[in-house]
Amino acid sequence: MRIALVHNRYRSNMPSGENRVVDTEATALTAAGHEVIRFEKQNDDIDGWSRAKKATLPTRIFWSRETYRELSATLRAHHPDVVHVHNTFPLLSPAVILRACQAAAIPVVVTLHNYRLVCASGTFFRDGAICHDCARGLPLPAVRHGCYQDSRVVSAPAALAVSAHRPAWKSLVSAYIFISAAQRDLLGGLGLPPDRVFVRHHLIPRRAVPEVAREPAVLYAGRLAEAKGVRLLMAAWDEYRSSAAGSSLRLVIAGAGPLLDEVAAWAATRPDVELAGEVAASRCAELMAAARAIIVPSMWQETFGLVVVEAMAVGTPAIAAGHGSLAELISDGVDGVLFRPGDPAALAAALADVAARPEKYQDYGDQARKAYEQRFDPQRTLDHLLEIYRFAIAHPARHITGLRAWQTPS
């Protein structure tokens, strides 16, 4: 099969799960003998633009003639069987991508990684709390609150694009992939055709790590941002330590992000906290394999938990906030622990438990590894993706049915 992957890459200095997913799936498809054509734009390139070109960025969210020409030429040159769209914001307007594929009569599969089809920021998170104000209506609250980059000026085009592109999203896509049932349910107000909606978890490959003894440590691995629950983690750790004199449990924090300076200042005064910074994927897997548990304190409703499944793959359980996809990925009390979202005392209690009962968390880790093999096997996940591609090819969206389609060998 010939697949065109369309993706707007996030900045290279910002950890991006979406970039990793696209790269992992492209590698897996190629290894399975399929031809992958990548059509990508890089957010890093914006820094090199002239001031005049940067001024056109808000309009590019709606339409870019340049991108339309480039993608159309790519489709003519390679004749893919299906186009798989990932992130389009801000350089790849959905209208451009979907209209170019419509003109070429090529079915489109879309993976929805976040909540951007209804939420300007893509997170359903505002001012430190979950927010669904724009979930079912016009995204006017996003402009009023400056939800995107804390700016009303910048939020306005992002919010307007949400409404402007919605008809194309609903009529020109042959298959929609939600990455968790929780995400699908939270976006139920979109009114997407139910027969074209699929839930498929990300492909998480097995990673070989050396066998090491578990250390009395817990690991946070992720972006250092408020929505990720980093401040909650710091408060919970301090609460746990206030009543755990003599405990040998350590906290390791791996990652980077807007709260890095705040986290570094906090960690510097706590000898039982290690700030590892941003680490390579192989090193992160080693840290996971050595930890007694990973901590996922997310304040926002995660659409998927890459770090949870990556930890499962090396036999490490997660202690996670019990909402969003995390409650879907983890079986509480079987292969991990779910705590009350936003509650530092609940997380502190879980930390005390992992310190006091290492054998319990070893059992959870054994179950987590089994859960990975049963629920997240990479080959089955890839097969599921190919099934969705075949569905899209056999059932093109009604707006492209009847147009001349290129015939290419599988």
d(CA 181, CA 301): 12
Higher-confidence residue: 98 or 403?
98
Tens of pLDDT, residue by residue over 327-348, are 999 999 999 999 999 999 999 9
List for the chain the helix, strand, coil content (%; round to 5): 45, 15, 40
Mind giving me the DSSP string for 85-128?
E---TTTS-HHHHHHHHHHHT--EEEEE-SSTTT-SSSSSEETT
Distance CA 285, CA 142 (A): 37
Rounded distance between C-alpha atoms, residue 181 and residue 187, angstroms: 10
Predicted confidence band at 400 (pLDDT cuts at 50, 70, 90)? low
- CATH 3.40.50.2000 residue ranges of the chain are 2-204+379-394, 217-375
Tokens standing for 5?
């992957």
State yes or no: pLDDT of 222 exceeds 70: yes
pLDDT (average), residues 249-269: 97
pLDDT for position 113: 96
State the Cα angle at 14 between 10 and 18, rounded to 5°. Answer: 45
| Mean confidence (pLDDT) of the chain | 92
pLDDT tens sequence across 161-198: 888 888 889 999 999 999 999 999 999 988 899 999 99
293: β partners = 218
Higher pLDDT, 148 or 255: 255
Q: Specify the CATH number of the domain 217-375.
A: 3.40.50.2000
- Give, in words, the CATH class of 2-204+379-394: alpha beta
- Report whether pLDDT(404) > 60: no
The answer to whether the beta carbons of residues 173 and 109 sit under 8 Å apart is yes
Confidence at residue 322, expressed as pLDDT on a 0 to 100 scale: 98
What DSSP state is assigned to residue 139? S
